[in-house]
């Protein structure tokens, strides 16, 4: 079982014993997800009525929850890949640390079966894939990519140009990739592939 950590904005995250790193910023788990993935991702394409999102790193499911809460005026098709899903007890601990009015919605998200498309409500469809990204067949075009792997220091194989190029190839022309990582080499690799950074 991973250790739950309260971050500076009062929201919770986990310290991964496997990667020896927290799933979110200790300065604020919710603040980070809201700023990076919702504000600069979902809101960037707020003019679109239908959006297809790909997430690398389902993790705790926080990005999924926040997207679902924000997307009532948009139809969302949300795909998320996770090689190392949390244990049931971890998800339960994370749920209990959420605001009371979010717990039922979060339960629906984490209860959705892996590798199966699940209609969460009339405007949100979720598909979680229990697979590594290297083996995942990205056969569709996405409007937004939430790139939320552990840091390049802990999961360098997920930040290699091969993976970033895979992301570029599956984005729509006006699509966007958002990530918390601001490492210089990652930015240079993204630019060399064709991303406007």
- Provide the whole-model pTM: 0.95
Strand 75-81 relative to strand 50-56, pairing? parallel
- Residues 84, 102: Cα–Cα separation, whole Å: 24
From first to last of the 197 residues of the chain, give the pLDDT tens digit: 678 999 999 999 999 988 999 999 999 999 999 999 999 999 999 999 999 999 999 999 999 999 999 987 899 999 999 999 999 999 999 999 999 999 999 999 999 999 999 999 999 999 999 999 999 988 779 999 999 999 999 999 999 999 999 999 999 988 999 999 999 999 999 999 999 99
Extended beta strands in the chain, E state: 3-6, 12-16, 21-22, 50-56, 75-81, 117-121, 124-129, 142-147, 171-179
Beta bridge partners of 21: 16
- Residues 190, 155: Cα–Cα separation, whole Å: 17
């Amino acid at each position: 079982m991973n250790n739950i950590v309260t971050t500076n904005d009062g929201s919770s995250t986990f310290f991964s014993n496997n990667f020896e790193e927290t799933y979110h910023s200790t300065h604020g788990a919710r603040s980070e997800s809201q700023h990076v993935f919702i504000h600069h991702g979902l809101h960037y394409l707020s003019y679109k009525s239908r959006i297809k999102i790909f997430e690398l790193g389902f993790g705790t499911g926080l990005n999924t929850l926040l997207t679902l809460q924000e997307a009532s005026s948009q139809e969302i098709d949300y795909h998320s890949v996770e090689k190392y899903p949390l244990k049931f007890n971890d998800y339960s601990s994370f749920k209990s640390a959420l605001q009371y009015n979010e717990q039922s919605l979060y339960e629906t998200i984490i209860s959705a079966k892996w590798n199966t498309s699940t209609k969460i409500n009339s405007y949100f469809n979720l598909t979680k894939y229990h697979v590594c990204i290297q083996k995942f067949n990205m056969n569709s075009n996405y409007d937004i990519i939430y790139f939320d792997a552990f840091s390049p220091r802990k999961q360098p194989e997920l930040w290699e140009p091969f993976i970033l190029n895979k992301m570029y190839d599956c984005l729509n022309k006006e699509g966007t990739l958002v990530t918390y990582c601001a490492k210089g080499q990652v930015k240079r690799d993204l630019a060399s592939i064709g991303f406007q950074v």
